[in-house]
Chains A and B, each alone.
Chain A
Amino acid sequence: MSQGQNQRAPTRPQTMVTFSIGPQRLAVPATSLLEVMDPLPVTRVPGAGRLVPGVVNVRGSVVPFADLGAALGLPRGGDVANHRFVVVEVDVGGDLSTVVIHADAVHEVASLHPEAILTASASLSPWPAEFLLGLYKSGDGFVILPDLVQVFSTLAKKPSTPSSNGTTI
């Protein structure tokens, strides 16, 4: 089962992992999370563009490093000491692929009821709606649910140009 289906039709509470990129909180299902690790050296891939700018050695495998923040138009930030690599397994164009995502901080594991999920409306939200499964309210802000399958499948299909700005793919 692809992770996308997992996220789209939840009937029971799902366990999510929350992290932030810049000021924004995000959540991905714990089922697609392989591990969270301290940042590793990233090898730049020339011509790959800024959305998947490099590769990382994750336990002997060469894994693409994706700048999810850039794809969603989020600025980076935060204390370097809190930076983490979030390793996820995502269906990319039909194959289960491992991808490393940069997170400015990783927060918690939370249970999310499907009823709490709001639809991201293209006109109202500041984020590219096509890459969101939805969002939910938590504390005084919103946590967004990135559609990793959509994001990475789009990246695999259509490379960005190095000069593109952060919000276009």
Chain B
Amino acid sequence: MIPDDLAQLFHEELRDLLDSLDRGLLDLRATPEDPALIDQVFRDLHTIKGNGAMFGFAELSGFVHGFETAFERIRSGAAKVTPEVIRLALRARDEIPGLLDGQAGTADARQALLSDLSAALSDGAAVHSATRVANPPSLGQQDARQTHWQTLQFALDGAAFDLGVRPDLILAELQTVGAVGFVAETDAIPDLAQLDPSVCHIVWTCDVPPGVGEEAIADVFMFAEATWTLVAKDPAPQAQPMPAAPAIDTADNPPTKTEAPSAPTPSAAPTVRVPAERLDALMDAVGELVIVEARLTELALNSQDAALLATAEQITRLANGLRDATMTLRMVPIRSLVGRFRRLVSELADHLGKPVNFVVQGEETELDKTLIEKLADPIVHLLRNALDHGVETAKDRQTAQKHSVATVTLSAAHEGTEVVVRIRDDGKGMDPAKIREKAVAMGLIAPEASLDRSQIFALIFAPGFSTASQVTEVSGRGVGMDVVKRTIEGLRGRIELTSEPGQGTEIALHMPLTLAIIDGLLVDVAGERYALPMGAVQEIVELPADKTNPDTTSDFLDVRGEFVPFLRLRAAFDCAGEAPRTQNVVIVSASGGKVGIVVDRIISTQQVVIKHMSKLHAHVRSISGATILGDGKVALILDTAQLITLGHHQAGSAGHARGAAA
């Protein structure tokens, strides 16, 4: 039986191989003659076939064998890669996962697919099937051998010793099939002066019992460079000597040294695959450590014991190092997602009849694995929008004097403590006037509202801004954009959108590097402590004295000329008691805008380990998670995106106040 971890490794590897196959096929479409790509595709197929067979997936292996056979024509140069070939090959590739989990379609359908593929590759000519000429049945004296003892004579070829052939093992194995009476003929051994000790000069003979056929003997010599004859003794017809393996004297035909591949790729560093759960467990442990470390530091500070302080400092450093190392372990390159996207873009471009060149930059950029998984859907959404609504038809592009093939770029890069994923198209861009019109019609904004470009673009992220058909009308792209935004912000990221009419649109997803531990700003509200993700914090100001009374003032703050709505957490959270005389306003921003959060005081900044809230608190909107502080108590992590929405909602309900302020 195959052990679980091995089976898991097999599945993981297969997934990688399928991704690689996807990428290879799609790249091949762009550069159909690239021999390296053809080799890679071929190798992927080959490995899938071999692994499938090794792990007992005979049907899969058989199917991929057919696939590979068809593709062999490309490798041998007999056929060319065409879009049709790629299309069929991708469909064939899609059959593979089903063959693993038993969800496969019918064998007939697969056979038909392979036939189509072969046909596409044969240019009308018949496809050579990989038929092998069966070895002719061995000559022999079966009858005599059944009844008579036989004599076996064998000699090792000149190079046998060099190749690692061991006469002792061969003799031992012959004994196991019943051979007796071994004689070593040493006549052929030359004088010492001429003796090449690496060549075996001995010829052996032995008696083999009746019934032992050539097959059994061939089996013994399967891995030996030997010449042997097996003849029946006594009144038997004379047999011709018959080498089991063609005698090849490699010493006389020194192998030619082959050139090293022209473009050597550095061999990959050794890697270890680790199940994700183990990484999660490690991350949890490190999380605990960070908490205990905070507690230790607190105790050390209180004690003022120099030795304890020094130790605590060391622990802090070590814990930080361990945390960073652990986070690195969880990082995977965004490449793991890209195959899927190439596929999507390619198919969608075909479907829409819009020629698109899909460019990927920064595939090696690494992101937390949980984040990567959760980013897939939003990116798919954005790519789909880019092709569907952003990119024009080839005809329209020509009219606009643009290159008829549109370019859609997916790029990923590290910028500071963020990873920025950009989806860019060179399509028709978005028209602010039309979006505005639409938003007014929907009652999202007042007709006289004054909004700048970015505020207008932000409208497309409003829930229910549009349905697909309506979006196409306004040449915008609102399909599920509110969902995308929510997802991204749920991951503590933010979205930025820029668009130029006629030039195209770019959407940038700014994501934190990791999900598990963040820098938090710890604040105090009526004796309760809350954490705010530092990434969202823009600045901290003191609440102006004239704004302290909630009953008499509008909840807007003039931050260097910009009017920012603010939210009093004491009120929002139904806190008891009186606010202190001086309060602070933490200005947080996200794609939805800015809001000031009024708190009693700032406590500190510190690393916080994010713990998720249970289902019982799933409905609590303004909280995104919780963390355990140094003293063991729980502090809640505020959901800045929700607070911004809340702040703006509040500001909206006091609409005239905004007008007055502006």
A interacts with B: yes
Chain A residues engaging chain B, CB cutoff 8 angstroms: 41, 43-48, 52, 55-57, 60-64, 66, 92-93, 95, 97-99, 152, 155-156, 159, 162
Provide 5 A-B residue pairs closer than 8 Å at the C-beta atoms, listed in order of the A residue: A46-B574, A63-B614, A97-B614, A99-B616, A156-B616
A52 touches B617 (CB 8 A): yes
A43 touches B574 (CB 8 A): no
Partner of B616, one of A41, A46, A60, A64: A64
| B572-629, CB < 8 A from A | 572-574, 611-623, 626-628
Q: Which residues of B contact A99 (CB under 8 A)?
A: 614, 616
User: Closest CB-CB distance, B138 to chain A, in whole Å?
Assistant: 64
Whole-angstrom CA separation of A41 from B288 in the bound complex = 19
**Which of B22-30, B117-125, B412-420, B631-639 lies at the interface?**
B631-639
User: Closest CB-CB distance, B85 to chain A, in whole Å?
Assistant: 46
A47 touches B626 (CB 8 A): no
> Known: A43-B633, A44-B528. Is A66-B616 also a contact (CB below 8 A)?
yes
How many residues of chain B get a CB closer than 8 Å to chain A's CBs?
Answer: 27
A55 touches B613 (CB 8 A): yes
Whole-angstrom CA separation of A55 from B628 in the bound complex = 11
User: Closest CB-CB distance, B573 to chain A, in whole Å?
Assistant: 4
Whole-angstrom CA separation of A48 from B626 in the bound complex = 14
A60 touches B622 (CB 8 A): no
Q: Which residues of B contact A44 (CB under 8 A)?
A: 528
Q: 3 smallest A-B Cβ distances: which pairs?
A: A46-B573, A43-B634, A159-B619
Partner of A162, one of B574, B614, B627, B632: B574
B611 touches A64 (CB 8 A): no
B615 touches A41 (CB 8 A): no
B616 touches A155 (CB 8 A): yes
Q: Which residues of A contact B291 (CB under 8 A)?
A: 60
A47 touches B620 (CB 8 A): yes
A41, closest chain B residue (CB): B633
A43 touches B528 (CB 8 A): yes
Q: Which residues of A contact B621 (CB under 8 A)?
A: 47
Whole-angstrom CA separation of A152 from B288 in the bound complex = 28
B626, closest chain A residue (CB): A62
Partner of B620, one of A45, A62, A66: A45
Partner of B626, one of A43, A46, A162: A43
User: Closest CB-CB distance, B539 to chain A, in whole Å?
Assistant: 24
Whole-angstrom CA separation of A67 from B220 in the bound complex = 79
Whole-angstrom CA separation of A60 from B574 in the bound complex = 28
A152 touches B573 (CB 8 A): no
> Known: A45-B623, A46-B573, A62-B626. Is A56-B634 also a contact (CB below 8 A)?
yes
Q: Which residues of A contact B615 (CB under 8 A)?
A: 92-93, 95, 97, 156
Whole-angstrom CA separation of A47 from B613 in the bound complex = 14
Chain B residues engaging chain A, CB cutoff 8 angstroms: 288, 291, 528, 572-574, 611-623, 626-628, 632-636
A64 touches B614 (CB 8 A): yes
Q: Which residues of B contact A97 (CB under 8 A)?
A: 614-616
User: Closest CB-CB distance, A33 to chain B, in whole Å?
Assistant: 18
Whole-angstrom CA separation of A43 from B632 in the bound complex = 11
User: Closest CB-CB distance, B472 to chain A, in whole Å?
Assistant: 37
> Known: A48-B617, A62-B613, A93-B615. Is A57-B622 also a contact (CB below 8 A)?
no
Whole-angstrom CA separation of A5 from B611 in the bound complex = 30
User: Closest CB-CB distance, A38 to chain B, in whole Å?
Assistant: 13
Q: Please indicate which of the listed interface residues A47, A56, A152 has the most CB atoms of chain B within 10 Å of its own CB.
A: A47
Whole-angstrom CA separation of A47 from B620 in the bound complex = 6
> Known: A43-B636, A45-B623, A46-B622. Is A57-B614 also a contact (CB below 8 A)?
no
A92 touches B614 (CB 8 A): yes
B623, closest chain A residue (CB): A45
B617 touches A64 (CB 8 A): yes
Whole-angstrom CA separation of A47 from B288 in the bound complex = 28
B611 touches A48 (CB 8 A): no
Q: Which residues of B contact A159 (CB under 8 A)?
A: 619-620
Q: Which residues of A contact B635 (CB under 8 A)?
A: 43
Q: Which residues of B contact A46 (CB under 8 A)?
A: 572-574, 620, 622-623, 636
Whole-angstrom CA separation of A41 from B529 in the bound complex = 13
Q: Please indicate which of the listed interface residues B632, B634, B636 has the most CB atoms of chain A within 10 Å of its own CB.
A: B634
User: Closest CB-CB distance, A62 to chain B, in whole Å?
Assistant: 4
A57 touches B634 (CB 8 A): yes
B635, closest chain A residue (CB): A43
Whole-angstrom CA separation of A66 from B616 in the bound complex = 9
A60 touches B618 (CB 8 A): no
Q: Which residues of B contact A57 (CB under 8 A)?
A: 628, 632-634
A55 touches B617 (CB 8 A): yes
Q: Which residues of B contact A162 (CB under 8 A)?
A: 574
Whole-angstrom CA separation of A4 from B619 in the bound complex = 24
User: Closest CB-CB distance, B572 to chain A, in whole Å?
Assistant: 7
Q: Which residues of B contact A47 (CB under 8 A)?
A: 573, 620-623
B611 touches A62 (CB 8 A): yes
Q: Which residues of A contact B618 (CB under 8 A)?
A: 156
A62 touches B572 (CB 8 A): no
Whole-angstrom CA separation of A63 from B616 in the bound complex = 10
Whole-angstrom CA separation of A55 from B619 in the bound complex = 14
Partner of A55, one of B573, B622, B626, B632: B626
Q: Which residues of A contact B623 (CB under 8 A)?
A: 45-47
* Contacts beyond the supplied A45-B613, A45-B623, A62-B611: 14 A-B pairs with Cβ under 8 Å: A41-B632, A43-B635, A45-B636, A47-B573, A47-B621, A52-B616, A55-B617, A55-B634, A64-B613, A66-B616, A97-B614, A98-B614, A155-B616, A156-B615
Whole-angstrom CA separation of A152 from B616 in the bound complex = 7
Whole-angstrom CA separation of A66 from B614 in the bound complex = 12
A48 touches B614 (CB 8 A): no
Partner of B288, one of A52, A55, A60: A60
Q: Which residues of B contact A98 (CB under 8 A)?
A: 614
Whole-angstrom CA separation of A64 from B619 in the bound complex = 13
Whole-angstrom CA separation of A60 from B289 in the bound complex = 10
User: Closest CB-CB distance, A68 to chain B, in whole Å?
Assistant: 12
Whole-angstrom CA separation of A156 from B615 in the bound complex = 6
